[in-house]
Amino acid sequence: MKPNWPRQVPSSPTIASPPDVRRDSPRLALIVLTAIGTAGFIDRIVMNVLVEPLKREFGLSDTQIGLLTGLAFAVLNVTLGIAVARLAERQRRLSLIALGTLLWSLATALCGAVTSWPALLLARVAVGVGEAVGLPANQSVIADYTPPHRRASAMSVLLLAPPLGAFIGAAGGAWVAGHWGWRWAFVAAALPGFVLAAAAWLFVAEPPRGRHDAADDGTVPPLGAVVARFWQLPSARHLVAGSTVASMVGFGLNAFFAAMLARRFGFSLIEAGLAAGVVASLPASLSVLTGGWLADRLGKTRPAAYALVPGLSLIAAAPLYALAMTRGSSTPLLVLVGLAALLQYTYLGCTYGTLQNLMSSRMRATASALLNAVYSLVGAGIGPLLLGAASDALLARGLSSGGALSLAMAGFSLVYLWAGAHYLLAARHIGPDLAATRAAP
């Protein structure tokens, strides 16, 4: 008999799991998320430089343009953004950011394929839906990567997205539209989002919740608790009110700036887009960075600086912008608008950084979504619509198209004074409110 030797079963080759290339790097996270925010703002702002060709294509009034550049974007962004933020308090935030970036990029590309005004309106609604999925968690991620005393500066870098996006969207969108038509401008605006969605998914690690704050026990406060935190803290109330009014003015002015240059001074599409990008957007980048840096520097010993810096800046910006709109030639107008832009946007990093510090770690995505919802509805939604309606009303009284728009913009810019007043009121309460939040997060 043959011996019954145990059979040797060939061992299966070991399959190595793919390496995890996601990096726990604050710098990488800030770069990628700032780029994503910039891409989102490009997709939003490119519409502004296409006002004149879209008016010719579809026969639109300024009120309809205001609806297209504002309220259409905000209509679903408001409610969906809050719902996604509640999910972001529990789930991996970078996955939602990547998905949302992909969705809004697809919707922007679709804007270039529409053949009617209602279809374009629906495509803009879809862009707002994508941003509602992709953007609410950005600030929460950066807040968890950054210690409290550096958050205003970090938020200022993150919030370079609006001015950088405005510059690229205005100058780049106008250039593409001038050479290949407005449809290709939408397609070009959509392309960076596809690459950045993959980068967020593949390379950025999810930071631990509350890494630099009180210990996170995993409990997600209800939505009502986040709203109550906003309402119970006087500084938060005034910061939200002031920043909402400022965003309404800023979105309205930016929506029609290129169109004003074309109507009043005969700028071509490319010239108006380049001027809007360089004069209004690049100084705004310095405004955002300087505001956050100065507030963090002064805020170490005087927390009121987080509201005083933006408040005084907005009050100074209002008369500068109004004076610019009344100039009879383009050169002094552009110079004054550039000076105003150095002051207009200091509120962004200061506001978001301070509000993140006033929230616990599991409130931050929801707080950002609530703030973005207000900005979308009142700022991006109502601002351009009000300014467009004011321009149409002045046009009906016999003013020229360019004159009516300029006068409407001059009056609208003075509303910055109202925003600045809220920041001065907030300055009286920020110190005690921050201390109370740290004591009972």
CB 97 within 8 A of CB 33: yes
So what's the pLDDT on residue 308?
Answer: 95
Residue with tokens 């002064």: 298
Instruction: Tell me the C-alpha to C-alpha distance, in Å, between residue 71 and each of 48, 206, 348, 363, 377.
Output: 14, 33, 21, 27, 7
Going residue by residue through the chain, which has 441 residues, state the pLDDT in tens, using 9 for 90 and above: 445 544 554 544 444 434 567 788 888 999 999 999 999 889 887 887 887 888 888 887 777 777 776 666 666 666 777 777 777 777 888 888 999 999 989 999 999 988 888 888 888 888 887 877 877 778 788 888 888 777 778 888 887 888 888 888 888 888 998 889 889 999 999 999 999 999 999 999 888 876 766 655 567 778 888 888 889 899 999 999 999 999 999 989 988 998 899 999 999 888 888 888 788 677 888 888 888 888 888 888 899 999 999 999 999 999 999 999 999 899 999 999 999 999 999 998 888 888 888 887 778 778 877 887 788 778 877 888 899 899 999 999 989 999 999 999 999 999 999 999 999 999 999 988 888 877 654
Question: Residue 23 forms beta bridges with which residues?
Answer: 204
So what's the pLDDT on residue 155?
Answer: 81
Q: How many CB atoms lie within 10 A of CB 205?
A: 17
Q: How many CB atoms lie within 10 A of CB 5?
A: 6
CB 171 within 8 A of CB 278: yes
Question: What is the C-alpha separation between 98 and 354, in angstroms, rounded?
Answer: 26
Instruction: Please report the sign of the dihedral spanned by the C-alpha atoms of residue 267, residue 269, residue 272, residue 278.
Output: negative
Domains belonging to the chain, first-starting first, are: 26-206+221-439 (1.20.1250.20)
Question: What is the C-alpha separation between 346 and 103, in angstroms, rounded?
Answer: 30
